[in-house]
Structure 1
Amino acid sequence: MTVLTSLARALAADSMTPQQLTVFRHQHISHQPIVVVPLTLAGETNAPLAALIGSDRDRPNVIVTRQPRERAERLNFAGKLASEVLFPIEMAAKRTQPFGRGQDSRVRVVDAPQIWVPNPAGIEFISTLGRMTRLRQIEGPWAVPATVRRLGIWLTWFAEQAEFADSGALIAATRALSAVWATGQSDLEDGNLAALMAWLAPPSGMDVASAVARAENPELCPPAGPSTDPVFDRLFLEPVLRDLAAARTPVAHKAVHRRLTTMLEEQMLPTWQHVWAAIDLLRQVPEAGRVARRWEQQRDRFTSFHQYVTTDGRPQAKRDNASRSGRRLAELEQRMAAFEAQRAFDDPLVLADYRLTGEAFAGRVVDVDATRRVPGQRRSLLRPRVTVATSDPVRLDVGQNVYDPSRNGQQAIIESVIDTEQGWQVELELQNQMGSGQTAKPGSVPALGDDVTYTSVTETFVRRRAWPAREDIPWTHGGPPPEYKPVAEDAAEDWS
């Protein structure tokens, strides 16, 4: 938790008013998001009980297992879910557009599917259900429909994408809201979507305290899933499940199942409405400048994975080998650092956190030499010098690279840091983005009296050494891994 986030939480608790943490929204929101509200059976790992799913807030599709304690019925549940998830995936994959030129010419989808769940536990549900279904065999005595395994492959992909900070494929509503607003309650309480929405959008005529008290009443606001309320389980769910197991005729079973469906739909509908209300609330916040570029990259990833599924189709391995683990860890770190830098470049409130920690400073230009040149290997190079007066604490070293967010990350080198009675004076040598002529292009060099900000965070990285090929993995990391081939035993685990 950053300094400003802590301060915002304290102010929110004192005033009972949520505090905005960012000026902009750093998350893309699809025009047609797919909302999934899952429920699981208590006492068993990932026993799917029911789900509301769809892109139409007024007409959700209801899926309820016929008998959640039977593993065969869990796969039937996955088959019904597959018809709801795979259809928008295939529709999105059909609409493509070309981009690039020459040898770099490729295609990407016009828009990629985006799934919303109430909270991080919903992401865990997607991940575990994907693992449960992607390793099933589609031939042999225990075969499942091919759509079930394809669903597992896609759910696993969505869950893996959710681990990256800059991804927009699978989003937990509570995380997206908490990234923009701070409330006066704890992180654990913010994990309850109903309580979080009570702070951000209390019902008409009700203050925040009353709205939160109402949200914590499971009778009025059932849990956001996938877990159900223990009292509901004991008084309502268990008797119906017993009646379902005792039903001996198709007519009796259908009548009990209809009663179960109605009861579970009533439990999920409040959360369904909260997720859509959260999406509406986030849409009101203006989108940050770099969000569109990140969504293009997400569309590229979706396009590439769809091509893999249609051409190869093998499920992801049960466990990552050393090579894939290393690559994935490096990508997680790089994309996290790039995302944090992009947020700082786009958002003054995010950048303010770096100013408090000394990783950035803001001030006014008190001296500038826009025509300064220094000797180069073949010719002199344009290297303007800018002096900035600031009252921010400067904890950056001489010789360190800093970047100007307002000029698309223009690089500068700190030449000196002088402590004065009025604050600090920082001399900077500009390095790039000034054009290729003998003089700097207009606007590329700050003018005398301009307000500027510089930070040490950057969204660009030095490329590391190339990863070894599969056959060149050293023995210290297990040697060349064998090619993965799914077998029946992969799916035979306790949680399946």
Structure 2
Amino acid sequence: MTTLTTLARAEAVVEGRAQRTTLVRHVHVAERPLVFIPLTMAGEANAPLAAMVGDDPDAAPTLLIVPQPRNRDQRFAFAAELAAVVLPYVDSFRGELEAVSVNRGKDIRIRYADAPQLLVPNPGGAGFTRLFGRSTRFRRTDGDYAVHPSVPLLGRWLTYFAERAEHPGSCSLVAMTQALTLHWATGQSPLEDAQLAALLAWIAPPDGLTGAQAAAAAEDPVTWPPAGPVTDPSFDNEILAPAMTAYQRAVSADSLVDRRRAELEELLRSQLEPTWRLMWQGVSLLRDLPAGSRVDGRWAEDRDAFTNFTEYVDGGGFPQARRDGAVAAAKRLHRLERAQASYDVQRAYDDPMVMADYRLTGEAFVGEVTAADPTRVDSSGKKRILRPWITVTTADPVLVTPGTKLFSPDRLSNQKATVVSAARNDGGSAEVVLELAGGMGSSLTPPPGSVPGVGERLCYTTLTDAFFPAGAFPTREETPWTHGGPPAPFDDGAPTAEDAREEWS
């Protein structure tokens, strides 16, 4: 938790309402996201109990239930029903294409103009998506325990969404509680923020109530059941268990089965419908925020990933492996670390409130240009080059030293600054002398506006989103013996029945 977030939480307590911690929205919200609210059975690992899913807040959502979650056939019938909703939704984005220039305009590649987005209530819903995808993507469609052909394909897409959720900045799979807490700070603990109803109560409390009062009311599991994937224990013991027992007796007696199933559906609908309404309230709150300038660029990366995975599946590619080999795992970790560093910089460049945290740590400062020498020429080398100097006066903490490279979100060109000197004056402010390079053409006279003028207010930071090359890794066949040696490939290139075996499936 950052210093400013801590301050915002304190202000939320005083004001009785959640406080904004950003000026812009840092997540992409699709025009037609698919809301997916899963429930699991208590005491059974990843055993689906029910799910509510849909992409239209004004239409009745699809309710799927598993009357007996311990029954394998019913679990995979549920998977087939879920596939009948998710797969057509995914396919609906495979129409319009767009051309993208690459290699500085020398080449063109094609990608889908939009991509699917899955919204779940909380990280637990994302965890269910990952595990359910893993338990279904290897299932066989023939032989013993055959499943519907759509089930393994559903598993592959659920795994795709779960893997994208691990990629910093990706919005293919979004947990609503995480998206909201990225933009608001409440007066309760982060653990309490994981309860969607209480979180939204702080952000948008009903008239006449403070956030704390509304959140206390939202903790009533009768009015606002948990957003899953686990259910309330009292509901399980007092309501659900008797209803499931009555259903099982009806099946055994071959009597009133449809009636008992309908009763189960109504019980589970009552647990899911409040969360369904909260999810769309969260979507509306996020849409009301202006999007950061770099959000579209990150969504373009999601569209690239969607296009590539679609082509891989259409080309007959095999399901994702149960676990990565040593080299693949190292490469994935390296990609995620690079993506996290880039995402952090992009958020700071997009949002002054995010950048303010870096100002407190001395990694950035904001000040006014108090002196400028825009035509200064450096003649120390073989060739005379334009190297203007500017002096920025700031009241922020300045921890940079001479020679440090700085960048400015306010100067969108490829201009960078090198610290010449930094000294604090008698008035308590600091004067930082910077030498500028780049973004001024090749002549010795800078174009108008390319050099900051006196009186201009700028932010400079050590943060940069500049490209840096990927790390060097051995090939799969060159995996060192210290990491298990080269992984053994499938005999025929396809997964085996062993791959589908899980202790909890």
Number of residue pairs matched by the alignment: 496
Partner of 1:33: 33
Is the contact made by 1:412 and 1:431 (CA closer than 8 Å) also made in structure 2?
Answer: yes
Task: State how 1:433-448 maps to structure 2 within 5 Å.
Answer: 433-448=439-454
What displacement does 1:397 show?
A: 2.2
The offset of 1:378, in angstroms, is 5.9
Residue matched to 2:283: 279
1:466 CA displacement:
3.3
Shift of 1:203: 2.6
Counterpart residue number, 2:309: 305
* Structure 2 equivalent of residue 238 of structure 1: 241
Partner of 1:333: 337
What CA distance in whole angstroms lies between the structure 2 residues aligned with 1:449 and 1:209?
45
| Alpha-carbon distance between aligned partners in 2 of 1:252 and 1:437, rounded to the nearest angstrom | 88
Mapping 1:125-164, distance limit 5 Å:
125-164=128-167
Matched, 1:487 2:496: yes
Q: Which moved more, 1:292-301 or 1:97-106?
A: 97-106
Residue among 321, 328, 335 paired with 1:324? 328
CA contact (8 A) 1:137 1:487 kept: no
Name the structure 1 match of 2:298.
Answer: 294
CA distance in 2 between counterparts of 1:402 and 1:211 reads 46
> What is the CA-CA distance between 1:170 and the residue it aligns to?
0.3
The match for 2:477 is: 471
Report what 1:261 is aligned to: 265
The change in CA–CA distance for 1:314 and 1:376 in structure 2 (over 3 A counts) is: farther
Change (3 A) 1:333 1:66: same
Given that 2:17 and 2:204 are in contact with CA atoms closer than 8 Å, whether structure 1 keeps it comes out as no
> Structure 1: how far apart are the matches of 2:399 and 2:79?
54
State how far apart, in whole Å, the 1-side matches of 2:242 and 2:274 are: 23
SS in 2 for 1:94: coil
CA distance in structure 1 between the partners assigned to 2:386 and 2:482 by the alignment: 49
1-structure distance, mates of 2:42, 2:227: 14
Correspondences of 1:378-397 after superposition (within 5 Å): 379-397=383-401
Give the AA of the match of 1:169: S
Deviation for aligned residue 1:95: 2.3
Matched, 1:417 2:426: no
Q: State the one-letter code of the partner of 1:417.
A: A
The 2-side partners of 1:250 and 1:304 are apart by 49
Equivalent residue number for residue 216 of structure 1: 219
Worse-matched range after superposition: 311-320 or 100-109: 100-109
How far residue 338 of structure 1 moved from its aligned partner, in angstroms, is 0.6
Look up the match of 1:365. Answer: 369
The residue number in structure 2 matching 1:171 is: 174
Shift of 1:141: 1.5
SS of structure 1 residue aligned to 2:410? helix
* Partner SS state of residue 98, structure 1: strand
For 1:333 and 1:256, the matched residues in 2 are separated by: 51
Distance in 2 (CA, whole Å) between partners of 1:471 and 1:104 is 32
Name the SS for the 1:404 alignment partner: coil
Shift of 1:477: 3.1
Q: Cα offset for 1:128?
A: 0.7
Instruction: Give the CA deviation at 1:480.
Output: 2.8
Amino acid at match of 1:167: S
Stretches of structure 2 that go unaligned for 5 or more consecutive residues are none
Aligned-partner Cα distance in 2 for 1:184–1:286: 24
User: Unmatched 5+ residue regions in structure 1?
Assistant: none
Deviation of 1:413 after TM superposition, in Å, equals 1.1
Amino-acid identity (%)? 46
Give 1:276 deviation, angstroms: 0.3
1:251: how far off? 5.2
Q: Secondary structure at the match of 1:407?
A: coil
Give the aligned partner of residue 100 of structure 1.
Answer: 101
Cα distance, 1:122 vs structure 2: 0.5
Quote how far apart the aligned CAs of 1:375 are. 4.2
Contact 2:406 2:463 in 1 (8 A): yes
Say whether residues 1:6 and 2:29 are aligned partners: no
- Cα offset, 1:72, TM superposition: 2.0
The code of the aligned residue for 1:149 comes to P
**Contact conserved, 1:40 with 1:49, CA < 8 A, in 2?**
yes
Match of 1:19 in 2: 19
Residue 9 (structure 1) shift: 0.7
SS at match of 2:116: coil
1:69 aligns with 2:78: no
How far, CA to CA, are the matches of 1:386 and 1:215 in structure 2?
Answer: 55
Contact 2:36 2:120 in 1 (8 A): yes
Is contact 2:25-2:286 (8 Å) kept? yes
RMSD: 1.6
- Over 3 Å counting, the alpha-carbon distance change for 1:207 and 1:380 in structure 2 is same
CA distance in 2, matches of 1:268, 1:94: 32
**2:95 aligned with 1:112:** no
How far did 1:143 drift? 2.3
Q: Can you list the C-alpha shifts for 1:346-379, whole angstroms capped at 9, x where unaligned?
A: 1110111100010001111111111122248663
Aligned residue in 1 for 2:57: 57
Which piece of structure 1 moves more, 65-74 or 125-134? 65-74
Letter in 1 for 2:149: A
* Contact 2:418–2:434 under 8 Å retained in 1: yes
Comparing 201-210 and 314-323, the one that deviates more = 201-210
**Equivalent residues of 1:135, 1:491 under 8 A apart:** yes
CA deviation vs aligned residue, 1:420-457 (integer Å, no higher than 9, x gap): 11221111111222233332232221101111110111
- Tell me the distance in 2 between the aligned counterparts of 1:353 and 1:391: 15
Shift of 1:93: 1.8
* Alpha-carbon distance in structure 2 between the residues aligned to 1:481 and 1:404: 46
Task: After TM superposition, give the deviation of residue 7 of structure 1 in Å.
Answer: 0.7
Measured at CA, do residues 313 and 184 of structure 1 come closer, stay the same or move farther in structure 2, by a change above 3 Å? Answer: same
Report the residue type matching 2:89 in the other structure: P
Contact 1:38/1:51, CA 8 A, preserved across alignment: yes
Q: Which residue in the other structure is 1:202 paired with?
A: 205
